[in-house]
Amino acid sequence: MTRSITYTGLRGIPMVRPDDDLVSIIADGLTSAGIEVASGDIFVVAQKIVSKAENRYVDLDDVSPSARALELAKTVGKDPRHIEVVLSESSEVIRSRQNVIIVAHRLGFVMANAGIDQSNIDQGHSHRVLLLPKDPDDSCERLKSGLDQRFGVNVAVVMNDSFGRPWRNGVVGVAIGCAGLPALQNMIGEPDLFGRPMQVTEIAVADGLAAAASLVMGQAAEGQPIVHVRGLSCQAPAKPASVLVRPKEQDLFR
Amino acid sequence: MTRSITYTGLRGIPMVRPDDDLVSIIADGLTSAGIEVASGDIFVVAQKIVSKAENRYVDLDDVSPSARALELAKTVGKDPRHIEVVLSESSEVIRSRQNVIIVAHRLGFVMANAGIDQSNIDQGHSHRVLLLPKDPDDSCERLKSGLDQRFGVNVAVVMNDSFGRPWRNGVVGVAIGCAGLPALQNMIGEPDLFGRPMQVTEIAVADGLAAAASLVMGQAAEGQPIVHVRGLSCQAPAKPASVLVRPKEQDLFR
């Protein structure tokens, strides 16, 4: 018995606009791809399309930068209004210097620009920026419920975004939301092949899925922002992506 | 045209011993799985089996810990001989405390224990530890050449290992060796869907593959330590995994 995991990017996904129904968009994408959903299937959706559907746009013309944003904007070399939005989405600035602002997002994720950027946002609104969804785990739950109901199945949903990392060049896909599968799978106590207790205790399953799906999405994520995944078997109980956030007091790298 | 990437774990891979020929082991695994190799296919191999084939074992009974290792062993709470081996594989200790030693490996990777652990190492040799391959990029090149010759194709090879990360719980697969594909793909200058220059410039393709393959391998990596990948199209020139290492002077998190 050969075991495979297959990631299929759904083509022809339209530009997503505020209040669009992502369940219907996914359903149409599946029909185009000739895929019949089954229980155990996973959907990885790009953060940007969820943010757009949830109308998480902010018009910079409506933003008044604080004194702190003005100051930080000098260091970073960006529009102070943009920095103000970044700060409003963050609990802490971790590092800042020319062209770099790394924060702890209010959701706990340590990331550049609080996940806000201007690429792949429609022209004609050059002053608009797009925030992360308010509660990505909840967005995934709602998508999962919608898909489960529509197709009479039990699927999982992961929301991904591209993150830079310390120590390593390049970005990888990372999970910022998860429903229906264990974002983190605990291996404590499971023996290795020789019966010794495992030294590595937890696997970031949702991050692995997010990274794999990013390769399918390509970098212009809007071209193929929904990836259907089949073949991963997860017995462990479902856990949201919030469990992937390491508590600050356990972190050696702040 | 639906585009999929499929990861297939090769079953029935035997326990790898020093001087085993991984090309033959992969060939047998492909036969069992009924897969005919084609150009463009990628193999992700677990670090452990390459280290074993390259006989990268060290017997702790042969190790005399230095004064520094003795001191650090107290902080970390590990066998000073083990710490000595970690230090001999490292250029710098980045963080140390009870149960934690994070180093810059001589290859540049910032990782726990210099990639050395004792899980999934054969019983009866409880004092043996297993180092990373001497030059994982070179190991991948040799594997690629061997596979290309044997099958008359042009494939790529990635070597993966499980890394913890700052800020996030759980481990993910990471590339420590790469041949035949761009470990890092440069997107500078490629416009986004709306014609704006991309803000994100480089994609860690090999890390994405490594993370995806880890999910197939499962945690007891020796069960399924070779993953066949089909469907990723890479036009960019091949680059080794060493390009994934961010130079120390460009790193904000040391």
Query: Which of residues 23 through 52 in chain B touch A, CB cutoff 8 A?
Result: 33-35
pLDDT in tens, B2-19: 579 999 999 889 999 999
Overall average pLDDT of the B58-73 stretch: 96
pLDDT in tens, B90-139: 999 999 999 899 999 999 999 999 999 765 555 566 689 999 999 999 99
pLDDT in tens, A192-208: 555 555 555 789 999 99
pLDDT in tens, A66-103: 999 999 999 999 999 999 999 999 999 999 999 899 99
Question: Is the pLDDT higher at B147 or at A127?
Answer: B147
Residue B36 has pLDDT above 80, yes or no: yes
Q: How many CB pairs under 8 A join A and B?
A: 240
User: Mapped to the 3 state alphabet, what secondary structure does B86-100 carry?
Assistant: HHHCEEEEEEEECCE
What crossing angle do the helices spanning B80-88 and B67-76 adopt, rounded to 10°? Answer: 110
Residue A16 has pLDDT above 90, yes or no: yes
Please answer yes or no on whether B204 and A168 come within 8 Å at the CB atom.
yes
Which pLDDT band holds residue A187 (cuts at 50, 70, 90)?
confident
- Side-chain-side CA neighbours of B93 within 13 Å: the count stands at 19
Contact B243, B184 (CB under 8 A): yes
Overall average pLDDT of the B49-57 stretch: 96
Question: CA-to-CA distance for A251 and B114, rounded, in angstroms?
Answer: 19
Overall average pLDDT of the B207-211 stretch: 98
Question: CA-to-CA distance for B135 and B107, rounded, in angstroms?
Answer: 8
Which pLDDT band holds residue A221 (cuts at 50, 70, 90)?
very low
Q: Can you read off the two tokens belonging to residue A176?
A: 């910022």
Q: Which of A30, A169, A196 to mutate to test the interface with B (most CBs of B within 10 A)?
A: A169
Q: Which residue of B has its CA nearest to A218?
A: B203
Q: Can you read off the two tokens belonging to residue B104?
A: 């810059």
- Of residues A8, A45, A217, A222, the one with CA closest to residue B230: A8
Separation in Å, CA B124 to CA B8, B121, B229 = 32, 9, 35
Question: Is the pLDDT higher at B254 or at B81?
Answer: B81
Which pLDDT band holds residue A248 (cuts at 50, 70, 90)?
confident
Distance from CA of A193 to the nearest CA of B (A): 6
pLDDT of residue A157: 98
pLDDT of residue A250: 85
pLDDT of residue B221: 47
Q: Which of A6-15, A17-26, A147-156, A216-225 has the lowest mean pLDDT?
A: A216-225
pLDDT in tens, B151-187: 999 999 999 999 999 999 999 999 999 999 999 998 7
Q: Which of A118, A158, A165 to mutate to test the interface with B (most CBs of B within 10 A)?
A: A165
Contact A82, A48 (CB under 8 A): no
pLDDT of residue B234: 83
Distance from CA of A161 to the nearest CA of B (A): 12
Residue A189 has pLDDT above 90, yes or no: no
Query: Which of residues 159 through 198 in chain A touch B, CB cutoff 8 A?
Result: 162, 165-174, 184-185, 187, 190, 192-198
Q: Is B90 on the interface with A (CB under 8 A)?
A: no
pLDDT of residue A198: 56
pLDDT of residue B201: 72
Residue B222 has pLDDT above 50, yes or no: no
CATH 3.90.1660.10 segments of chain B? 57-130
Instruction: Work out whether strand B42-46 and strand B57-59 pair parallel, antiparallel, or are unpaired.
Output: unpaired
Question: CA-to-CA distance for B104 and A45, rounded, in angstroms?
Answer: 34
Q: Which CATH class is domain B6-55+133-250?
A: alpha beta
Residue A12 has pLDDT above 50, yes or no: yes
pLDDT of residue A213: 97
Overall average pLDDT of the A4-10 stretch: 95
Of B119, B172, B208, the CB nearest to A215: B208
Question: Is the pLDDT higher at B26 or at A124?
Answer: B26
Q: Is A5 on the interface with B (CB under 8 A)?
A: yes
Q: Is A203 on the interface with B (CB under 8 A)?
A: yes
Give the ipTM of the model, two decimals please.
0.93
Residue A121 has pLDDT above 80, yes or no: no
Question: What percent of chain B lies above the pLDDT cut of 90?
Answer: 79
Overall average pLDDT of the A234-248 stretch: 93
Question: CA-to-CA distance for A138 and A115, rounded, in angstroms?
Answer: 18
Which pLDDT band holds residue A222 (cuts at 50, 70, 90)?
very low
- Specify the CATH number of the domain A57-130: 3.90.1660.10
Which amino acid does the sequence have at B131?
L
- Of residues B164, B146, B144, B166, the one with CA closest to residue B155: B144
pLDDT of residue B187: 73
pLDDT in tens, A22-71: 999 999 999 999 999 999 999 999 999 999 999 999 999 999 999 999 99
Please answer yes or no on whether B216 and A122 come within 8 Å at the CB atom.
no
pLDDT in tens, B82-97: 999 999 999 999 999 9
